Every structure is written in structure tokens, then in C-alpha cells.
Structure 1
């Protein structure tokens, strides 16, 4: 996956999570996603990074929304 494709998918992810968690600010969601995304820097296989970031961010947001 090209880096710009991954970046676009991560931007779309922030939008989806903002819609899914309207009570959480978009900036907070963007920070959470960025934190998880940074955890994959330097990893050679990039195809599933946006999916993994989405799962981790969703779990964190679900746990804080309770």
C-alpha cells in the first residue's frame, strides 16, 4: 500500500469514528488514531495498518464512552 493511500484511509477512519462517537471531539479522536498509527511506524507490511488502527481506536473509544 502506498503511503498516501494509507494516509487517506486513516483520514477517512477519523471521519467514521467521529460519526460513530459524536460525544467525543474530532480532535480527541484524531489524536487517538494518530497515537495508534504511530505505533506501526517502521513496520514493513502496511496493508492492514488502517484496519488495525481502527480496531484499537474503536476499543479505546468504546471503553471511554461507558
Structure 2
């Protein structure tokens, strides 16, 4: 239970950081959707420690690639 709460808190932090970093190019809703999509990719992974970091890197890479 504590692991889930920690991961949820970390994912909220990812959304906040990305919202701050990409506020001029994406809406908060778009960023939340991108984070949710990236997070879902890792849903069946047994090791959860690095999921928030991997989600943030995935979304940043996608957004940077889209920006050109």
C-alpha cells in the first residue's frame, strides 16, 4: 500500500514538473494524458522503484521530439 502511495505521489510530481517545463506548448490536460499513457506501459512491471523516472523520461523525450 505504501509503495502505491509513493508511486502516485511521484507521478503527481512528474505531472507538476512537466506542466511547469512545457506550459507554453502543452495544456495540463495533454500532459496528464501523456503521463497516464506512459505510466500504463509500465503497469505490469514488477519493480516499481524507477517507474516515475522512466515515465518522466519517456514523456520528455516524446515532447522534445514533437517540438523538433
Taking structure 2 as the reference length, the TM-score comes to 0.90
Backbone CA RMSD of aligned residues: 1.1
Number of equivalences: 66
Aligned to 2:10: 9
Quick one: distance in 1 between partners of 2:27 and 2:60? 14
Gaps of 5+ in 1: none
Taking structure 1 as the reference length, the TM-score comes to 0.93
Report SS of the residue matched to 1:46.
Answer: coil
Gaps of 5+ in 2: none
> After the TM superposition, which residues 7-46 of structure 1 pair with which residues of structure 2 at under 5 Å, given as runs?
7-23=8-24, 24-46=26-48
